[in-house]
Structure 1
């Protein structure tokens, strides 16, 4: 086992222990929480090490990183569950769609239309039928101008639009909390997303990153998106 693999395995064990502690405080089962390892800027070799350590779900922010990594791993007979977690431009849907198991950043009806159109075309080209793509609707709970996502009051309309698409399954809601010094400061953000989800009959909550995931789990997160705490600092 390489030094990198040892580090990733140890980091992943520490993350799982912290999630278990957060679940115990909240009266939850740790099995309810999926860890998505975010490998932005890291090479396919580190993804392979993470898979060997027991991680099954891998997240990418950019199509130009996802596609070569997915192809490199497929060539080695490895097939993680890929999650696209960044902003997905409509002109990238065609390349990304065949690879991903979930999208965490659906925020417009136009993007939903493009997913539907490309999925229809894949079927028409003879691709194997696949289940609808699980999509999390991205909500900008904190209303930060620098962040993507819809305002909370726009959720009913987007939920209605997404639910009409045959190739989309609304899995829940996603948010990116503000960067703060104390994770307790963003607890209200996570709580509001949970309340929004419950108000609309949704169970999935993609919320929580390296600096705040324990608080997110306490507030009901079902998916945490973790990069630095597992893989170390991003590479330039």
Structure 2
């Protein structure tokens, strides 16, 4: 029998998160349906994903391959169907594993990673893999992310150039460029960060009109992200609470 107490906890949190999204959309003059929720369940068990799926959550994010692969298998065996988003930094040697279960990889930030995913998806998938390019808003190499030279005063690095990565993904036969993802730097005001991201997204769409997805905003800044055009918000703590996570 499902954990009814946990289900009730998740249901209440989900109602509040959806209310926040609806209020943010209203404040921004946007339709509530223009923003999708991605439930970030990293460190939480597969049982939580199954419960969330039963509550109507369709998209789930994970950031570590070893955990995500096992969790995706467990959720599938339980009969629940969700779209898996890989949202963490990804090593090229994990591409073969990730393409087997992920529907979307949100963290492509280099030409080498795009190439590795293209090769793996071509061998192990029957349909193109949706890809978001992760953008570095402040250019800090420690956090990863592609560089938009228009907005980021960062040393030139062709490997991390946003335009080059976008062209490589768009030209791939096994990947499909859907848009951008970013995390607001901790030392930036979120509105400023997402305003910069929105400008980058607009430039990307000028060259790639189908790249309409903008994944931005988490539990503490979803309102600012929605105000600046986020189409997907990645919510963990506000949805799953402080339950003891997996180790």
TM-score by length of 2: 0.87
Distance 1:61 1:170 in 2: 20
Residue in 2 that maps onto 1:10: 12
**1:170 paired to 2:169:** no
Residue in 1 that maps onto 2:193: 189
Distance 1:31 1:82 in 2: 20
Q: For residue 145 of structure 1, report the CA deviation from its aligned partner.
A: 4.1
Residue in 1 that maps onto 2:131: 135
Residue in 2 that maps onto 1:45: 47
Unaligned runs of 5+ in 2: 150-160, 206-210
CA RMSD in angstroms comes to 1.5
Residue in 1 that maps onto 2:165: 158
**1:146 paired to 2:142:** yes
Indicate the SS of the match to 2:122: helix
Deviations 1:9-51 (A, max 9, x none): 1111111111111111111011111111011111111111111
Give the alignment partner of residue 22 of structure 2, picking from 20, 23, 46: 20
Residue in 1 that maps onto 2:226: 217
Count of equivalent residues: 227
Equivalent residue runs for 1:75-90 within 5 Å: 75-90=77-92
Q: For residue 146 of structure 1, report the CA deviation from its aligned partner.
A: 3.1
Deviations 1:45-73 (A, max 9, x none): 11111111111111000001111111111
TM-score by length of 1: 0.91
